[in-house]
Amino acid sequence: MSEHIVSLKIYVSIFLALLVGTALTVWAGLHDFPGQLNVIIALTIAVVKATLVVLYFMHVRYSSRLIWVVFTSALFWLAILFALTLNDYWTRSWL
């Protein structure tokens, strides 16, 4: 698989999208949304920004399948770390 060169236009668009995302997250953080919506909005914006960086700045979108597998395995193990440990902490008071 030969190397793919991401165009300047894409780099500039991603850069602008990341700045807009930052402004959006600050704006959303100053507004009082009902319930847990504030956390959900903040994390959604962060995940979208991180995904843009991974796919375009880090070229994962154009990389081999192997890189995809290695990267998603990290997310998978992180999910295990959070899910199993939190289910212990959050249910301890039930005993």
Partner 1 sequence: MADSVAIEHEGSHPALQHHFENLEQQREAGTLGMWVFLVTEIMFFGGMFFAYTLYRTKYPAAFASASNHLSLTLGAVNTAVLIFSSFTMALAVYSAQTGKRRNQVVCLALTILLGLTFLGIKAVEYHDKYVDHLIPGRLLPSRPFDASDVHLLPGAAPQNVEMFYWIYFAMTGMHAVHMIIGVGLLSVILFFAWRGRYGPEYHNPVEISGLYWHFVDIIWIFLFPLLYLLGRHLEH
Which positions lie near partner 1, rule CB under 8 A? 1-3, 5-6, 8, 11, 14-15, 18-19, 22, 25-26, 29-33, 38-39, 42-43, 45-46, 49-50, 53-54, 56-59, 63-64, 66-67, 70-71, 73-75, 77-78, 81-82, 85-86, 89-90
User: Least Å distance between CB 36 and partner 1?
Assistant: 10
User: Least Å distance between CB 49 and partner 1?
Assistant: 5
User: Least Å distance between CB 95 and partner 1?
Assistant: 17
Closest CA to 44 of 25, 65, 71: 25
Q: Which is nearer to partner 1, 66 or 95 (CB)?
A: 66
Residues 6+ apart with CB under 8 A from 49: 17, 18, 21, 22
On whether the CB atoms of residues 59 and 6 are closer than 8 A, the answer is: yes
Q: How far apart are CA 65 and CA 80, in angstroms?
A: 23
